[in-house]
A and B are shown apart, each in its own frame.
Chain A
Amino acid sequence: DQQVKQNSPSLSVQEGRISILNCDYTNSMFDYFLWYKKYPAEGPTFLISISSIKDKNEDGRFTVFLNKSAKHLSLHIVPSQPGDSAVYFCAASGGNNNDMRFGAGTRLTVKP
């Protein structure tokens, strides 16, 4: 039962352009959403988060948008840089607050 879904396993963009990574969820009890970034041979690192009381959160080049009615969130990276190339995981928590559910990840490749 995959409650958090990232339907695009991979995404390739040109340096300087916008990267948009998408995530859908099914559990309406989720009230906090996070994005993690993972480089090869490293563990995931926290990138940015958003609470369900907001629809946008921005941190530098990274912006996360939340559409609660559609149960959809997206991560925008502008401008994209080659160092952003990594696997990005969407995660959600809520209800049982000791649990966090992850999507399968999207591999982003930013070409110079």
Chain B
Amino acid sequence: GAVVSQHPSWVICKSGTSVKIECRSLDFQATTMFWYRQFPKQSLMLMATSNEGSKATYEQGVEKDKFLINHASLTLSTLTVTSAHPEDSSFYICSARGEGFSYEQYFGPGTRLTVT
């Protein structure tokens, strides 16, 4: 159990366009979802935390108008990278946490974004 999926697994887009990444909890209700970014050979960097039905809480230095997060249901959160630039190219990973778990976060497989 506790499976999290992400779509797409990889995407290439042109500079200036927007990209939407979906994160779904397949067999549990995710009260909280997290979005991370990871650059090569670096650790995970938390971008934002979202709770179902409320606005996301962004980490310092993360532009909320550029990285739009929506957590409309207990099984789906989306991250939209708006007006993408080459420096946004990274590995984006979501994780989800449900009630009743020992605060463990279940990770999606990640989305590799390349902006050309």
A and B: partners? no
Give me the interface of B with A, judged by CB distance under 8 Å. Answer: none
